[in-house]
Amino acid sequence: MHASKGSDENWAALVDRLEEGIPLLVEDFLHDLQGSRMYAGGTVARDDLTGTAEETFRSVVAALRSIDALPALVGAAQDLGRRRAHQGVDMRDLVDAVQLDFTVLWRRLLSYAEDGLRDVLVEHVETVHRVVDRYAFTAREEFLRETARTEQDLRLTNRRYLSRLFSDGTLTEENYTEIAAGLGVTSDAVFELALFGPEEVVSIRRAAARELACGSVLGHEVGQTYVVIQVAGGGTGLAEVLADHGGVLYRRLGGLADVRVAVQGGADILRAHRGLRRLHTAEELLPGALFRYARTRLIPGYLSEAGDGLGELQGRAGEQVVDTVQMYLRTGTVKSTASSMYCHRNTVVNRLRTFEDATGLDVSVPGQAMEALLLLTGR
C-alpha cells in the first residue's frame, strides 16, 4: 500500500504528537505495569523501568518516523535484552513488558487518530507492526544470547544474583535462599563487605583480579558505589587485599539480609567521607557520618562554633592538641593518654584545656566527649 503525499504529512504529524507525548506513554506504561505481576519482587528498580520505557518509546517513535532509525532501534532492543539477562529477569516478564510497551503506544495512537486521522493510521499499520516486531524479536534474541554467554562466565552469573540482592523492593526468605544458592553460599553465612567510590573501581578490580575471577570474592556496582563481598574466613581478608584503597569495611555481617542493609548504609557513610586514602572500618567512620547527617538533616549549624574554634588550632601545636584529644577519647584517662603519647600528664591536661578553650568542649564530660568525637571525625 502506497501512501499519498498528504497521508505522509498527516502521518508525520501523528508521529510528532506521539513524540511530544512520550512522558505520557511512560506514565501509562508504569501504571499498567503496576497492576500486573511482571517484574514482581522488585527485580528491576523503578528508575530502571522508567528510563528503559522512555528509551524504548523514543527509539520506536524515531523508527516510525524514518526507516533510517532502525539501527538505533535494534541497538536499544539489544541493550534491553542484555540488561534484563544480567538482572536475572524471567524471559516471559521481558516479553510481556515489551508487549505492554506497544499496547500502550497503540492505545495512544488510536486516541490521536480520532481527530480525522484513522485512515492515515490504517495506511501505516504495516509500518507499526514491522517496527514493533523488530524490537520485540531483537530484545528476546539478545536476552537468550546473553543468557547463554552468562552461563559460561561465573562473574556474569554472580552479577545476575547480586542485581537481585541489591534491587528495589522487598525480598523474602525464599528470595535470599535462591540468591545464596546462585552465588554458591548459604544465606545465613557471615560476610565481609567493602564499599568504594567510582574512582576506585579499576584499581580494585586489578588488586582483586584473581579472587574475582575464581568467585571467592564478588564485585558489583550499586549506583555510584562498587561493592565487594566475601564469606568471612574464606581466604585472605578484604582488609588485607584492599587495605590501600579508600573505602568502608564491614568485618562481619550475619547473612545476605544484613549485607543488603549495610550496602545502603555504607553508601551514606562513604558519601560523608570523600577522599579516603585507605580502607576504614564502618565503626571508625560512623561518628563522622552521624555528624554530617545531624548538621545537614537534623540541626543546621550543629557544633559550628566548636568547629570554628577547632579551625583556630593551627600549626604543629594545634596538631598536638588534636592528637592528644583523640588519644584521650580512645583511652579515657589522662594517665593512659600520657603513656601512649610519651609525655607528662600535665602536658595532656594543658592540651585538653587548650581544646576546651578553643571549642567549648570538655572531653572529661561524657556528653561533650561524644560531641568532640563527632566533631573530630567529621572534619
At 240, the pLDDT band (50, 70, 90 cuts) reads very high
The pLDDT, as a whole number, for residue 1 is: 44
Note whether 183 and 166 are within 8 A (CB): no
Q: Which residues contact 277 (CB under 8 A, 6 or more apart)?
A: 246
Q: Where are the alpha helices (DSSP H) in 231-293?
A: 238-241, 256-272, 282-293
Better-predicted residue by pLDDT, 96 or 159: 96
Residue 159 falls inside a structural domain: no
Question: What average pLDDT is seen over the chain?
Answer: 88
Note whether 218 and 159 are within 8 A (CB): no
Residue 110 falls inside a structural domain: yes
Q: Are residues 263 and 366 in the same domain?
A: no
- The domain in which residue 367 lies consists of 303-377
Q: How far apart (Å, rounded) are the C-alpha atoms in residues 158 and 211?
A: 13
pLDDT at 80 over 60: yes
Residue 156 falls inside a structural domain: no
* CA-based end-to-end distance of the chain: 72
In which order are the strands placed within the sheet that holds 190-196?
A: 218-222, 225-231, 190-196, 247-254, 279-281
Q: Are residues 97 and 196 in the same domain?
A: no
Q: How far apart (Å, rounded) are the C-alpha atoms in residues 118 and 110?
A: 8
Q: Are residues 277 and 313 in the same domain?
A: no
Q: 51-60 pLDDT, tens per residue?
A: 999 999 999 9
pLDDT at 266 over 90: yes
Note whether 264 and 188 are within 8 A (CB): no
Report the amino acid identity of residue 43.
Answer: T
Q: Are residues 110 and 234 in the same domain?
A: no
Q: Are residues 146 and 184 in the same domain?
A: no
Q: How far apart (Å, rounded) are the C-alpha atoms in residues 379 and 373?
A: 10
Q: What mean pLDDT is predicted for residues 304-314?
A: 86
Q: List phi, psi (to 5°) of 193.
A: -140, 135
Residue 364 falls inside a structural domain: yes
Q: What mean pLDDT is predicted for residues 264-269?
A: 92
Residue 161 falls inside a structural domain: no
pLDDT at 64 over 50: yes
Q: What mean pLDDT is predicted for residues 218-246?
A: 90
pLDDT at 43 over 80: no
Q: Are residues 138 and 204 in the same domain?
A: no
What is the model's pTM? Answer: 0.53
Residue 298 falls inside a structural domain: no
